[in-house]
Amino acid sequence: MTLSTDPTMAETLLADRVRTARSSEVRKVFMASQKRGVISFAGGAPYLGVLPFDRLAASARRIMAGSGAVSLQYGASQGIPELRRHVCALMELEGISADPDDIVVTSGSQQALDLAARILVNPGDVIFAEAPSYAGGLAVFTGYQAEIIHVPVDGEGLVPEELEQAIAAVQTTGRTAKGLYTIPNFQNPRGINLSAERRHQIGEICRRNGLLIFEDNPYGLLAFDGNTRRAIQPDFPDITMYFGSFSKIIAPGLRLGWVLPPAGLYSHFVNASETTLLNPPVYNQQLLCDYLDNPAWKATLDESRGLYEKKGAALVEALEQAMPAGTSWIHPTGGFYLWLTLPEGVDTGSLVFECIERGVAYVPGTAFYADGRGSNELRLSFCLPTIDEIRKGGAILGQLFREATEAGTACAAATDDRPRNHPGRPSKTS
C-alpha cells in the first residue's frame, strides 16, 4: 500500500492473504462519486424513498420502549427465531422448503459469503464464477486465497458446456475445485437470468463433479414482470448453499441477510459467525420482523419494482440517444444493473475519474473480473438516481464515450491486435 515509502513495522507483519489481495480500485470510484452533485450509477444501492419511514419510526420506538433490555442485549448467533421464520416464508416464493432451524441470519449476505469462504476455501482452491461477476463476491473468495476461474456467459447466463470444460481443465492440473459461485437472478453485473433448463444442467454438472453451488440471490424478487424464478437450492439441496439478503428488496442499512447451508455445514456457519461477530443485532432483526409482519411490505416492494422498471427503461432510452456506435448493452428485465460494452480500446477504468469530474459515476468493468478483463466494459446501477438524473447522466456518459471512441479511432492501429490498454492511446484522465 505504501510502495513509495518504507513499510511500517506493522506492515512487515502482514499475512500472506492480505499481500495477495488486490487493492480496491472500486472504493476510489465510490469515494470520488460521493462528491455533491455527482449522479451515481456506481453503487448497488436501492432507492429507499418508497419506504414508510413514519411507520418504521413508530415501530422503532415501540420496540425499544417495549423490549429494550432484549433488543440491546447479546442474542443468538443464528439470529432470532421470528426472523428465521420470515426468511423461510420468503424463500418459499422461490420453491425452497426450509425449517427456521436451518437458517443462519447474518450481517448482510456479504457476511454469509465471507463465512462460506472461510469454512470452505483453502489457499489455492478453485472457485468458478460467471464472467463477469459481483466484485464483492470475488473479493471474498480471493481474500481466502482462492483462485477464481471465470466461466463464459451468454444471454441465458452461465454456459453449462463451458463450465464442464473449465472443470475438466482444472482436474487435469490436479488442483482442488470447491464450487461454483453464481447469481442466477438478474445477475450482478450483467442483469441476466440463468434459464430454468441451465439451472438444472449446472446443478447436475456440479453434483457429478463434487462441487458446491454458492447460490447468491439478492435480486430474485425484483423481476419487472413479477415472475419469481425457482431457485437452484430446492433441486440440489445437498450441494447448494443459498444466500439471501434484505438489502435490495427492503433496505441495506439494517445489515441483515441469511444463509441456508447444505447438510453438515450448519454448525460451522454458526461457529464462524460467532467467532467473527458474536451475533447480528437483535434490535435490527426485531425492526425487520415488525416490518415483515405487516403485509403492506409487499405492496412497497411492488412499488419499488415498478419504479426500477421505469428507471431501467429511462436509462436505455438515454443510452440509445447518446452512446457512440459500436456500444452494446443488455436491456434490464429486473434487478439493479445495466451492463455496457464499449468498442475495443475504450478504457473505462482510465475514463471513470474524468467522468466523475463531469458529474457521473459508474463502475469500470475490470472490477467484475478476477483476471484483468473488462477494460472496455462498465456497470450502471439505475435504481438510486431519479429519472431526470438518469437522463442527464446518460447524456454525459454518451458525450464522454463518443469523444473517447473518436480519439481511440483516430489513433488506433488498423489491426485489431493492439493491447487493450494501449499506452499510446490518448487518455481523457487528468
Q: Which is nearer to a second copy, 246 or 329 (CB)?
A: 246
Rounded Cα–Cα distance for residues 195 and 206 (Å): 16
| Min CB(21)–a second copy separation in Å | 7
Rounded Cα–Cα distance for residues 50 and 123 (Å): 44
Q: Which is nearer to a second copy, 274 or 371 (CB)?
A: 274
Q: Please state, as a whole number, how many other Cβ atoms lie within 10 Å of the Cβ of residue 331.
A: 10
223: β partners = 334
| Min CB(263)–a second copy separation in Å | 5
Q: Which is nearer to a second copy, 143 or 234 (CB)?
A: 143
Q: Which is nearer to a second copy, 24 or 429 (CB)?
A: 24
Amino acid at site 384: L
| Min CB(159)–a second copy separation in Å | 24
- Nearest 5 degrees, angle CA 131-CA 137-CA 138? 55
Q: Which is nearer to a second copy, 60 or 307 (CB)?
A: 60
Q: Which is nearer to a second copy, 30 or 333 (CB)?
A: 30
Rounded Cα–Cα distance for residues 53 and 333 (Å): 28
* Residues 356, 362 contacting (CB under 8 angstroms): no
DSSP state string for 291-308: HHHSTHHHHHHHHHHHHH
| Min CB(43)–a second copy separation in Å | 6
Strands, sheet with 363-364, edge to edge from the N-terminal-most edge strand = 328-329, 337-341, 377-381, 363-364
Q: Please state, as a whole number, how many other Cβ atoms lie within 10 Å of the Cβ of residue 253.
A: 11
Rounded Cα–Cα distance for residues 186 and 321 (Å): 24
| Min CB(265)–a second copy separation in Å | 5
| Min CB(218)–a second copy separation in Å | 12
Rounded Cα–Cα distance for residues 261 and 103 (Å): 7
DSSP state string for 345-361: T--HHHHHHHHHHTTEE
| Min CB(67)–a second copy separation in Å | 9
Q: Which is nearer to a second copy, 271 or 409 (CB)?
A: 271
What is the bridge-based pairing of β-strands 337-341 and 377-381?
antiparallel
* Residues 45, 188 contacting (CB under 8 angstroms): no
SS3 content of the chain, % helix, strand, coil (to 5): 45, 15, 40
Rounded Cα–Cα distance for residues 388 and 311 (Å): 9
Q: Which is nearer to a second copy, 243 or 329 (CB)?
A: 243
* Residues 408, 425 contacting (CB under 8 angstroms): yes
| Min CB(271)–a second copy separation in Å | 6
Q: Which is nearer to a second copy, 65 or 325 (CB)?
A: 65
- Residue carrying the nine cell digits 483453502: 122
| Min CB(370)–a second copy separation in Å | 14
Q: Which is nearer to a second copy, 45 or 330 (CB)?
A: 45
Rounded Cα–Cα distance for residues 14 and 123 (Å): 16
Radius of gyration of the chain (CA): 22
CB-based burial of residue 173 (10 Å sphere; 0-12 exposed, 13-18 middle, 19+ buried)?
exposed
228 DSSP 8-state letter: P
Q: Which is nearer to a second copy, 120 or 351 (CB)?
A: 120
| Min CB(347)–a second copy separation in Å | 24
| Min CB(306)–a second copy separation in Å | 19
